[in-house]
Amino acid sequence: MAVRLTISSSRVKLHFSKLKVPVPYSCAHRSSLLHPKPRANSSQTNTGQACSPKVDIMFMKTHKTASSTFLNILFRFGEKHRLKFAFPDSRNDFDYPSLFQRSFVKDYKPGMCFNIICNHMRFNASEVEKVLPTDTSYITILRDPAELFESSFHYFGRLVPFTWKIPGDDKMTEFLLNPHSYFDPEGFNSFYLKNLLFFDFGQDNTLKLDDPRVDEGINLISERFQLVMLVEYFEESLILLKEELCWEMEDLLFFKLNARKGSTVSKLTPKLRARALEWNAIDWKLYQHFNRTFWKKVNAYGRERMAEDVAELKKRNKEMTSVCIEGGHAVEAGSIQETDLQPWQPIGEKSIMGYNLKKNIDSAHQKLCRKMLMPEIQYLTELGVNLWITKLWGHVRNIINW
């Protein structure tokens, strides 16, 4: 805060002005990006119009939304173009569930330049803006709230103390039949089990649906984020991302990471699904809003063109599967041979599947295959993040067999 003193005959005036935090326009190493590529014709572009890949990206990593799969795409893109990531310090998130502060960024100093921020956080727009260039593209991803609730209950349920008093083996069903008798809005980690998407965006997840702050929050998200992807249409989302950021098809290649073993997934009956959506009504409103905007973008892109591009992406991913993955499919945790390819597991479970790297991969694909199969924790470590708090927690869990 700068202070300027003015003295007049009648009084002393103090003038306060906020010191601006300088944010560079972009800090990308653009040597490989200087040659624009022509864009295909669409309703928004003219044939032959050139564009350059956008490299300044804020990815709002929401929970249980295939975001680890997308993170792997971002990590590989960032390495390819030698971009600078804003990473957390000592753990794999930005002090979640606290609202994001720029001081959470490893080695942050005012005016430092980053291209990409993508780890879990509770979104706080004014602070995020201070660590990214002004031309940053804001991207996020949503998932059907009923399916998200089921996944969150499975993954985080044991970390939410109020669930411990729910009787029976099928705790989720029992909870949904009468959630108000169990839910404690002030309880430790309770946010995981009610409107988790809205909470991740820095909003109050316990509001009544007709509270005006709900629509205000949705509007703020809509104004901030250029693209909101949907888990249920992941390939289509990536094609829209390619259009938005002027990326190449090869930048979108992926394997599904952190997939759950099918036997651990609770199939929601129509009745339970309706109750889950009622319980997560704000998230459902949020999802419906962005589902509409998503299909408007698809229509603008062209349905036939979208189908062709999705088919091409699936074809390339299938080719990479045959090149990289032993057996061509995911395996249970106990069957993963390399420690470096073991995904993080939920409390008390070994339900997250992973992959075995194919033996004798040709040298042209060996590095890419390993990176595409690498779980988030291991990839962050390889990128130089010291995750000692996360790893300590993992060791404690192993010792107490939790």
Tell me the per-residue pLDDT of 83-93, one tens digit each, with 9 for 90 and over: 999 999 988 99
Please give the Cα distance from 171 to 20 (Å, whole number).
Answer: 51
- Looking at residue 17, its pLDDT comes to 40
pLDDT over 60 (residue 317): yes
Q: Which structure tokens are listed for 150?
A: 């089921």
What proportion of the chain, given as a percentage, has pLDDT over 90?
65
**Residue 94 · residue 119 · CB < 8 Å:** yes
Q: Supply angle C-alpha 350, 356, 360, rounded to 5.
A: 170
**Residue 50 · residue 39 · CB < 8 Å:** yes
From residue 369, how far is each of 160, 234, 315 by CA, in Å? 37, 20, 16
Mean pLDDT for 279-308 is 98
Residues 13, 15, 16, 20, Cα dihedral to 10°: -170
pLDDT over 60 (residue 148): yes
**Residue 243 · residue 306 · CB < 8 Å:** no
- Looking at residue 390, its pLDDT comes to 66
* Stated pTM of the model: 0.86
pLDDT band at 4; cut points 50, 70, 90: very low
- Looking at residue 212, its pLDDT comes to 98
103-109 own/partner pairs: CB under 8 Å, 24+ apart: 105/131, 106/385
- Looking at residue 161, its pLDDT comes to 95
Please give the Cα distance from 164 to 167 (Å, whole number).
Answer: 8
pLDDT over 50 (residue 2): no
Mean pLDDT for 280-285 is 98
- Looking at residue 349, its pLDDT comes to 67
Please give the Cα distance from 345 to 334 (Å, whole number).
Answer: 12
**Residue 68 · residue 375 · CB < 8 Å:** yes
pLDDT over 50 (residue 246): yes
Tens digits of residue pLDDT in 177-198: 999 999 999 999 999 999 999 9
Which range of 28-32, 79-83, 290-294 scores highest in mean pLDDT? It is 290-294
53: preceding bond cis by omega (within 30 degrees): no
Please give the Cα distance from 198 to 241 (Å, whole number).
Answer: 22
User: How high does pLDDT run on average in the chain?
Assistant: 86
Please give the Cα distance from 274 to 265 (Å, whole number).
Answer: 17
**Residue 64 · residue 197 · CB < 8 Å:** no
String of b and e for 88-112 (b: at least 16 CB within 10 Å)? bbebbbbbbeeebbbebbeebeeeb
- Looking at residue 263, its pLDDT comes to 59
pLDDT band at 342; cut points 50, 70, 90: confident
Please give the Cα distance from 29 to 42 (Å, whole number).
Answer: 29
**Residue 86 · residue 56 · CB < 8 Å:** no
What proportion of the chain, given as a percentage, has pLDDT over 70?
82
Name the maximum alpha-carbon separation found in the chain: 86
Residues 128, 131, 133, 137, Cα dihedral to 10°: -40
Mean pLDDT for 84-111 is 93
pLDDT over 50 (residue 19): no
More confident residue, 362 or 220: 220
pLDDT over 50 (residue 46): no
pLDDT band at 113; cut points 50, 70, 90: confident
pLDDT band at 11; cut points 50, 70, 90: very low
- Other Cβ atoms closer than 10 A to 41: 13
- Other Cβ atoms closer than 10 A to 13: 10
- Looking at residue 344, its pLDDT comes to 74
**Residue 338 · residue 359 · CB < 8 Å:** no
Mean pLDDT for 374-401 is 72
Mean pLDDT for 151-159 is 91
pLDDT band at 35; cut points 50, 70, 90: low
Mean pLDDT for 90-101 is 94
Indicate the residue type of 6: T
Q: Which segment of 184-188, 341-345, 356-360 scores lowest on mean pLDDT?
A: 341-345
Q: Which segment of 31-35, 201-205, 297-301 scores lowest on mean pLDDT?
A: 31-35
Q: Would residue 199 be called left, alpha or beta, if left means φ above 0 and alpha means ψ between -120 and 50 degrees?
A: alpha
pLDDT band at 31; cut points 50, 70, 90: very low
